[in-house]
């Protein structure tokens, strides 16, 4: 993998570190990856860009979502929140951008937030990401929103 491209604005895709995913999967038991390119699918059931995960129904699934980190991330977070209201549990790996509109509209006060200690090494990268990450957890049909905040450690 060309890490120079990965750490530039030429891509909005950040491949989830497998060991990090495995820890989350042990807790949540994921059934759907709506943000796959086909080669990097984390679940047996997945959607690619061609399938348009934003247009698909996620209800009844336990979803692992590592969305494209570009300008469209707000739409993915809106979708994750909406699908949780329709019966999906959605766990999102996203940059910790607490100053953004999407964070305030779809995360803060609406989801469990787990800040990742340290910086993740995405994909085959030898260097850590140039930004902090967080896990956002939307529980299925949670009318009484769980708004706890915690942190997790990256080895």
Residue-wise pLDDT for 96-129, tens only, equals 999 999 999 999 999 999 999 999 988 878 888 8
Alpha-carbon torsion angle 110, 99, 96, 64, nearest 10: 40
pLDDT: is 1 or 56 the higher one? Answer: 56
7 is a domain residue: no
6 is a domain residue: no
5 is a domain residue: no
Residue 34 belongs to a domain with what CATH number? 3.40.50.150
Mean pLDDT value across the chain: 86
4 is a domain residue: no
What domain range includes position 86?
Answer: 12-153
Report the percent of the chain where pLDDT is more than 90.
Answer: 70
**Residue 124 carries which DSSP code?**
T
Q: How many domains does the chain have?
A: 1
Which pLDDT score, from 0 to 100, does residue 8 have? 41
Q: Is the dihedral of CA 136, 42, 68, 8 positive or negative?
A: positive
Mean pLDDT of 151-155: 47
Band (12; pLDDT cuts 50, 70, 90): low
Measured CA to CA in angstroms, residue 36 lies from 5, 42, 63, 149 at distances of 19, 8, 12, 27
Which pLDDT score, from 0 to 100, does residue 15 have? 84
27 is a domain residue: yes
43 is a domain residue: yes
Q: What are the tokens at 91?
A: 């766990």
101 is a domain residue: yes
Which pLDDT score, from 0 to 100, does residue 68 have? 92
The pLDDT of residue 3 is above 70? no
93 is a domain residue: yes
């Amino acid at each position: 993998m060309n890490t120079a491209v990965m750490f530039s604005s030429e891509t909005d895709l950040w491949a989830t570190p497998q060991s990090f995913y495995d820890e989350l999967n042990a807790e949540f038991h994921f059934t759907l990856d709506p943000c796959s390119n086909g080669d990097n699918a984390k679940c047996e059931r997945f959607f690619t860009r061609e399938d348009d995960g934003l247009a698909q129904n996620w209800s009844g699934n336990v979803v692992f979502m590592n969305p494209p980190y570009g300008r469209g991330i707000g739409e993915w977070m809106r979708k994750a929140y909406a699908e949780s209201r329709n019966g999906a549990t959605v766990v999102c790996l996203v940059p910790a951008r607490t100053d953004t509109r999407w964070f305030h509209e779809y995360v803060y006060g609406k989801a469990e937030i787990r800040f990742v200690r340290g910086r993740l090494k995405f994909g085959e990268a030898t260097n850590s990401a140039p930004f902090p990450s967080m896990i956002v957890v939307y529980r299925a049909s949670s009318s009484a929103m769980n708004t706890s905040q915690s942190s997790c450690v990256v080895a």
